[in-house]
Chain A
């Protein structure tokens, strides 16, 4: 099975590899795995004023998994948190021309995006509650 040019490109020059400190303000972390193949994906977003200003990833897995997460970080940058929710695995499949056996890689990337957004929102919520608690003096 041959990888598409886009997959090869992302694989050879992965965009946005790296990580943020999990505790850092505005950072959402999603870390997911595919139990079928043992791939692991960590995707992080940095949010300012409800806009994703930066995204990073680390993936342990095949070329398609790396390409899917690399592409995801590219797409996430500059998007609002709300728009980021709309990224679907099928968009990734289409863009990267993934064959059926590699669709699960795109699913993993979507799961990672969702997990990162969820983590960010949870953190933001907790911060709000913390502030309110401080304001009321409780």
Chain B
């Protein structure tokens, strides 16, 4: 696991919804507990998941670090600790916890993390729609036909033909799983490209174009993966494990 120089420090400064404590009206600048009255403060609606964990918008994430931060913040916001507090504090802790859980779930999974990052960055990148993979579509439709044929055969009762087709589908399944794995490692490769571009302090057009390109490529891999996964799910449901 790579170490990061910009690792979050102990004193956190999260973007909060307000600059003033909802309770005692004293100024709060990024503390999630008011410095004066120690009441919990609501997280900003604009807070993105990376910022919530005080991570740069990189795709290779130190998962241990992520987990540690999650536990730390969970302890701060968990509704259990607010059961004796007033309604407002309970509501805030519930809202913050829910946000935190979603953020953690999203960032923990590399695929969801990439999808989320693309969504976040998509504002800067119009029309990120990828090229339709024609060959893949044809393959999927053919495979689906085989799946349907097999389903019909099984209804008639097992036969040598249905066994043969099952064998074929089993092979296809292995093939698709390999393909999905290959897509995922291709995506991981792009993570490095993205992170490299993100850590370069450059604002040229060329740099922006490069970033857009990487986002597009990732989007394309993710789309293709969705197609493969979708037919794979059907296949597994049909032939069983």
Contact = CB atoms under 8 A, between A and B. Distances in A.
Interface in B193-241: 219, 222-223, 226-231, 234
A40 B143 CA distance: 12
Given A32-B132, A33-B132, A38 B230 contact: yes
B223 A60 contact: no
Contacts, number: 45
Contacts of A35: 129-130, 219, 222-223, 226-227
A42 interface: yes
B140 A60 contact: yes
Contacts of B223: 33, 35
Interface residues of A, number: 12
Nearest to A115: B132
Given A31-B132, A35-B130, A40 B226 contact: no
A72 B137 CA distance: 19
B226 A37 contact: yes
A75 B131 CA distance: 27
Contacts of B222: 35
Nearest to A111: B132
Nearest to A19: B141
Contacts of B140: 40, 60
Interface of B: 129-130, 132-134, 137-138, 140-141, 144-145, 219, 222-223, 226-231, 234
Given A35-B130, A35-B219, A60-B140, 14 more contacts: A31-B132, A31-B134, A33-B133, A33-B223, A33-B227, A37-B226, A38-B229, A39-B230, A40-B227, A42-B137, A58-B145, A60-B141, A60-B144, A60-B234
Interface of A: 31-33, 35-40, 42, 58, 60
